[in-house]
Amino acid sequence: MIKYKLYCKKCSNIFDSWFASSKEYEKIKKLKYLSCNKCNSPNVQKSLMAPNLLNAKKKQETKLENRKKYINVKKKIREYQKFIKSNFEYVGDNFAYEARTIHYENPKDKKRKGIYGNASSKEVKELNEEGITTETIPWIKEEEN
C-alpha cells in the first residue's frame, strides 16, 4: 500500500488516498476513477505539496545547522579577539602607520607588543608589498551579539 496526497484542482482540497501501488494509482487516474472527496471533481492529481513540505523542513534544518556553525565560528572569533586584545596593542585606524613605524624604525624592538587595528584592503596590500606581513581576521564588534 502506498499513500498519496491528492490535490483537487477545482476546490484546492488536499486529501490522502491509499493505493496498492504507484502503478495502480496511474491506472485509476487513467480510468478517471480518481475524484475529490470534497467536491467529487475528477480533476485530481498527486499533490506536489508533500515533497515541497519535506524540502521546506530540510531547508529549515539546514538553516539551523548553518546557524549553529555560525555561532561556533563566532565563538572562535571571540576567543581569538580576546587573545589579541590581551596580547597586542590596539592602534585603531593608525594600523598602517604603526606597522610601518615598527617595520622601518625599530624592527629590533622586541619589547613592543604586536599591534592590531583597522586597515583598508588597499593599506594591507601596500604593507604586504613593502614586506610587512599582516594578518586579516574577521572582527566582531562588541554590539553585535
Residue 6 touching Zn ion (CB under 5 A): no
Residue 16 touching Zn ion (CB under 5 A): no
First-residue to last-residue Cα distance in the chain: 51
Taking a C-beta distance cutoff of 8 angstroms, is the pair 14, 7 a contact? yes
Among 17, 35, 41, 94, binds Zn ion (CB under 5 A): 41
Residue 38 touching Zn ion (CB under 5 A): yes
DSSP states along 46-114: E-SHHHHHHHHHHHHHHHHHHHHHHHHHHHHHHHHHHHHHHHEEEEETTHHHHHHIIIII-TT-TTSPE
Distance separating alpha carbons of residues 23 and 78, to the nearest angstrom: 58
Among 6, 8, 34, 99, binds Zn ion (CB under 5 A): 8
The site that binds Zn ion (CB under 5 A) totals a number of residues, namely 8
Site for Zn ion in 75-114 (CB under 5 A): none
Residue 17 touching Zn ion (CB under 5 A): no
Q: Of the listed pieces 6-14, 16-24, 68-76, 120-128, which binds Zn ion according to CB under 5 A?
A: 6-14
Q: Which residues bind Zn ion (CB under 5 A)?
A: 8, 10-11, 13, 36, 38-39, 41
